[in-house]
A and B are shown apart, each in its own frame.
Chain A
Amino acid sequence: DAKTTQPPSMDCAEGRAANLPCNHSTISGNEYVYWYRQIHSQGPQYIIHGLKNNETNEMASLIITEDRKSSTLILPHATLRDTAVYYCIVSPSGNTGKLIFGQGTTLQVKP
Chain B
Amino acid sequence: DAGVIQSPRHEVTEMGQEVTLRCKPISGHNSLFWYRQTMMRGLELLIYFNNNVPIDDSGMPEDRFSAKMPNASFSTLKIQPSEPRDSAVYFCASSSQGFNYGYTFGSGTRLTVV
Contact = CB atoms under 8 A, between A and B. Distances in A.
Given A95-B31, A96-B31, A103 B101 contact: no
A4 B57 CA distance: 23
B18 interface: no
B112 interface: no
Given A43-B107, A101-B42, A96 B102 contact: no
Given A96-B31, A99-B45, A102-B42, A46 B101 contact: yes
Given A95-B95, A96-B50, A43 B108 contact: yes
Interface size bracket, A side: 20 to 34
Contacts of A103: 42
Interface residues of B, number: 28
Interface string A66-101: 000000000000000000000100000011101111
A80 B47 CA distance: 34
Interface string B30-46: 11010100000011110
Contacts of B31: 95-96
A34 B108 contact: no
Interface in A44-61: 44-47, 49
Nearest to A35: B102
Contacts of A87: 43
Interface of B: 4, 30-31, 33, 35, 42-45, 48, 50, 56, 91, 93, 95-108
